[in-house]
């Protein structure tokens, strides 16, 4: 299709865009990952580096991604190609390693949630929830090298999640993602509020909340706590995923990007904090019932959702099944709103460059995605999930964010992008944002990266062998990087690389 005949989709309103962006940001990580990070990193003290990370990296980078996608009216590959043809590969690498890495196992975890939603109707996990989750349900093997068989219930649920994702992203953005988020997000908020209100009525909830909010100030001296906070901000705001660049490209010229970035960021973080009340109220209740301290209840992030919560639900004094249905419904909805945004980021990229029909691209990606997810549905899938998640989040997202800052800050020039953003922003940004993008944020990310590498070399990760880590996690990053470079070598239509940054006649979304 010619450039002249190609029409980009768009959101029907700024409200629709915000719901989609917030839906992408709010996912499984807001409910169990944030709570577990807080639990293991000093309770209320963790909120200090978390807020610092939000303002020093999260919001500045989100503004960058909104501004870049909006300025170029393009997905990540085309946006970076317009900055400089030699930087296009970064625009491909971000959605590639997210789609063909994070999304592979993310859909499987949503499938776990869907299974546990069904289990909630009769509390099928029984009295020993840990044995049920690890052995009966996952069938965990002894090592990553031993895959074991495919778990049929997990495979079927994963296929269903891919089918729902396909159905939503198959349609144009305003009919698919926007409509889905207009339904899902209010339901998610109401469900979460019910869980919080219900949790606060439980005996022992106060002990859990005290642990949640009481700071361990000594933890602030531990660099690992700060690295965890920055990693959580990147993961939870979908930064360096390529998603927010694609979403912003669907906005009209006159849009207050800074206000949208603040609304998205603060809403996401407030939701995480709110969901923590539901989680820790239940953890406090379970600690009281078992007669153990709160800090001995949770062993890991996955066990929080699939071992600790099922056990707590089984011990509730009344309406146990209903509480389980609400909790796992919230997880499924949160997962789906993030999942569709990941598929959309790469869909938008492929359409921009190759002009393939959306329906072909979405169908192809979802079929490949389902096939890639299969390995995570095996008995060894939990090991693979742990390793791939560690590498892609610890290295992939941080490296991509660092390169984004450098490419925009020094090649496009931060001041050029700031000028574009300020054209339709009520509260203008000053050169402080330029300083953050060019110096502060990349310096923080570089320190994080160096610290992670040195720790990895000294201690390894999770007890895995170096061979397992490099063959599974490292090769995943290198394979997607190679694919990104290859895709960037394919030529664009010359007309696609020309930009017109003069604001059009679209009305400013109010």
Q: Which of 37, 32, 31, 63 is nearest to 50 (CA)?
A: 37
**C-alpha torsion angle, residues 51, 56, 62, 67 (rounded to 10):** 150
User: CA 106 to CA 31: how far, in whole Å?
Assistant: 14
Where are the domains positioned within the chain? 14-491
pLDDT at 174: 66
The answer to whether the CB of 220 falls within 8 A of the CB of 323 is no
User: Which is more confidently placed, 245 or 505?
Assistant: 245
Tell me, letter by letter, the H, E, C secondary structure of 344-381. HHHHHHHHHHHCCCHHHHHHHHHHHHHHHHHHHHECCH
Q: What digits encode the pLDDT tens for the residues 356-395? A: 999 999 999 999 999 999 999 999 999 899 888 888 888 8
Pick the more confident residue, 309 or 77.
77
Task: Show the tokens assigned to 321.
Answer: 């099944």
Length of the chain (residues): 510
Q: State how far the alpha carbon of 360 is from the alpha carbons of 12, 73, 258, 365, in Å.
A: 23, 22, 34, 9
Q: Is 14-491 assigned to CATH 1.20.1740.10?
A: yes
Whether residue 27 has pLDDT greater than 90:
no
Q: Copy the structure tokens of residue 39.
A: 């639990």
Token output for 84: 């400089």
* Per-residue pLDDT tens over the stretch 306-352: 888 888 888 888 788 998 998 899 889 989 989 999 999 999 999 99
pLDDT at 150 over 90: yes
Whole-prediction pTM value?
Answer: 0.90
* Buried/exposed 126-137: b ≥16 CB within 10 Å, e otherwise: eeebeebbbeeb
Q: Please tell me which residue, 211 or 2, carries the higher pLDDT value.
A: 211
Residue 486 pLDDT > 70, yes or no?
A: yes
| Alpha-carbon gap, residue 120 to 152, rounded angstroms | 19
Structure tokens at 77: 């590959």
Residues 6+ apart with CB under 8 A from 246: 69, 75, 76, 95, 344, 345, 348, 349
Strand (E) or helix (H) holding 181: helix 177-200
DSSP 475-500: HHHHHHHHHHHHHHHSPPPGGGG---
214-230 pLDDT, tens per residue? Answer: 888 888 888 888 888 88
Residue with tokens 């995480």, as numbered in its chain: 272
- For residue 150, the SS3 value is strand
Dihedral over Cα of 127, 133, 138, 139: its sign? negative
């Amino acid at each position: 299709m010619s450039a002249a005949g190609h029409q980009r989709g768009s959101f029907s309103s700024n409200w629709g865009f915000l719901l989609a962006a917030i839906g992408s940001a709010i996912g499984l990580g807001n409910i169990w990952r944030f709570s577990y990070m807080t639990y293991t990193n000093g309770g209320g003290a963790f909120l200090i580096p978390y807020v610092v990370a939000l303002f020093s990296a999260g919001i500045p980078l989100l503004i960058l991604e909104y501004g870049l996608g909006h300025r170029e009216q393009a997905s990540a590959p085309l946006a970076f190609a317009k900055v400089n043809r030699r930087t296009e590969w970064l625009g491909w690498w971000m959605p590639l390693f997210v789609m063909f890495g994070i999304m592979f196992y993310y859909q499987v975890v949503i499938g776990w949630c869907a299974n546990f939603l069904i289990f909630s109707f009769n509390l099928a996990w029984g009295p020993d929830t840990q044995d049920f989750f690890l052995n009966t349900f996952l069938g965990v093997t002894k090592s990553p090298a031993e895959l074991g068989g495919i778990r049929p219930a997990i495979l079927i649920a994963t296929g269903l999640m891919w089918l729902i994702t396909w159905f939503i992203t198959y349609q144009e953005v305003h009919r698919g993602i926007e409509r889905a988020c207009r339904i899902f997000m209010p339901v998610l908020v109401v469900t979460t509020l019910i869980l919080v209100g219900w949790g606060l009525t439980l005996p022992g909830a106060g002990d859990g909340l005290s642990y949640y909010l009481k700071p361990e100030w000594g933890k602030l001296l531990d660099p690992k706590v700060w690295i965890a906070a920055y990693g959580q901000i990147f993961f939870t705001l979908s930064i360096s995923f390529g998603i927010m660049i694609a979403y912003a490209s669907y906005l009209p010229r006159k849009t207050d990007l800074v206000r949208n970035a603040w609304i998205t960021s603060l809403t996401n973080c407030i939701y995480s904090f709110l969901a923590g009340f539901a989680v820790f109220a239940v953890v406090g209740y379970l600690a009281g019932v078992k007669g153990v301290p709160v800090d001995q209840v949770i062993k890991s992030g996955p066990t929080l959702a699939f071992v600790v919560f099922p056990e707590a639900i089984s011990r509730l004094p009344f309406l146990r099944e209903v509480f389980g249905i609400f909790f796992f419904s919230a997880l499924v909805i949160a997962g789906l709103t993030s999942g569709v945004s990941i598929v959309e980021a790469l869909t938008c990229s492929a359409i921009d460059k190759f002009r393939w029909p959306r329906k072909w691209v979405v169908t192809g990606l979802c079929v490949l995605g389902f096939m890639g997810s299969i390995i995570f549905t095996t008995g060894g899938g939990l090991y693979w999930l742990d390793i791939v998640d560690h590498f892609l989040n610890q290295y992939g997202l941080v490296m991509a964010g660092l390169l984004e800052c450098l490419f925009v800050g020094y090649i496009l020039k931060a001041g050029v992008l700031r000028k574009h953003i300020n054209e339709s922003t009520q509260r203008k940004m000053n050169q402080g944002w330029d300083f953050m993008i060019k110096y502060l944020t990349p310096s923080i990310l570089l320190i994080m990266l160096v610290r992670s590498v040195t720790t990895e070399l000294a201690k390894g990760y999770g007890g895995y062998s170096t061979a397992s880590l490099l063959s599974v996690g490292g090769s995943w990053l290198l394979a997607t990087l190679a694919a990104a470079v290859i895709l960037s070598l394919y030529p664009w239509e010359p007309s696609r690389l020309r930009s017109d940054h003069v604001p059009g006649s679209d009305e400013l979304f109010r």
